[in-house]
């Protein structure tokens, strides 16, 4: 059985992330959305909250599940027996950021990275912008699933 790992902070998960996971699922039997925490970053949601929100979003999607990943994603991918890490690209800037990481992950444990082009209609979505828009009272309902929009609004008090 082939397994793919989709890693990220998912603070919180967006429609863009889900699109990439669904596309990964067309190529792999099982897709694990692996939620990590970078000590240098500050998050709106705790890792448990990010896990809960993402799990709700994929509950009806066969073969896609969410887990928390501590440590290096290259180790995590190896430990779960993943054939590849799958990353979504929204454009060239994403690729520039991802290239070194993909090569380092391969260097670390031999895991390959597969890049997927997401739906161009979702290419403007980024968790950081969604949170910023919400903090100014802007509309986020088209950018994130309904449960996520509710959770963000609670956090920003809107
Ligand atoms: O969503 P993000 O914050 O851009 O995710 C970044 C990523 C994928 C690096 C992070 O979620 C992660 O997996 N961190 C674990 C540490 C790690 O493996 N870093 C990459 C070293 S090459």
Q: Which helix (H) or strand (E) holds 137?
A: none
User: What pLDDT, in 10s, does the model give residues 19-76?
Assistant: 999 999 999 999 999 999 988 999 999 999 999 999 999 999 999 999 999 999 999 9
Residue-level pLDDT at 101: 97
* Average pLDDT value for residue range 91-97: 93
Q: Is any atom of ligand 1 closer than 6 Å to the C-beta of 83?
A: no
pTM of structure: 0.96
**Catalytic residue numbers, as ranges:** 17, 41, 90, 127
Residue 107 pLDDT class (50, 70, 90 cuts): very high
| Owner of token pair 């054939």 | 83
Q: Report pLDDT for 39.
A: 87
Alpha carbon of 70 to ligand 1 centroid (Å): 10
Q: Residue of the nearest CA to atom 13 in ligand 1?
A: 73
Three state DSSP letters for 67-132? EECCCCHHHHHHHCCCCEEEEEECCHHHHHHHHHHHHHHHHHHCCEEEEEECCHHHCCCCHHHHHH
User: How far apart are the CA of 62 and the centre of ligand 1, in A?
Assistant: 25
Atom index in ligand 1 nearest the CA of residue 35 equals: 11
Q: Which numbered atom of ligand 1 lies nearest the CA of 41? A: 3
Ligand 1 atom closest to the CA of 108, numbered from 1: 22
Q: What is the pLDDT of residues 116-149, one digit of tens each?
A: 999 999 999 999 999 999 999 999 999 999 999 9
| pLDDT tier, 158 (very low <50, low <70, confident <90, very high otherwise) | low
């Amino acid at each position: 059985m082939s397994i793919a790992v989709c890693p990220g902070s998912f603070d919180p998960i967006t429609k863009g992330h889900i699109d990439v996971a669904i596309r990964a699922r067309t190529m792999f039997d099982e897709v694990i959305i692996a939620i990590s925490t970078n000590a240098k970053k500050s998050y709106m949601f705790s890792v448990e909250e990010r896990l809960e929100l993402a799990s709700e979003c994929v509950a009806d999607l066969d073969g896609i599940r969410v887990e928390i990943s501590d440590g290096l994603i290259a180790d995590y991918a190896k430990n779960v027996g993943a054939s590849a890490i799958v990353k979504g690209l929204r454009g060239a800037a994403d690729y520039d950021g991802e290239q070194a990481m993909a090569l380092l992950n391969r260097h670390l444990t031999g895991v390959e990275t597969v890049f997927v082009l997401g739906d161009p209609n979702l290419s403007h979505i980024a968790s950081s912008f969604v949170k910023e828009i919400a903090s100014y009272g802007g509309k986020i309902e088209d950018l994130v699933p309904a449960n996520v929009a509710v959770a963000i609004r609670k956090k920003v008090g809107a």
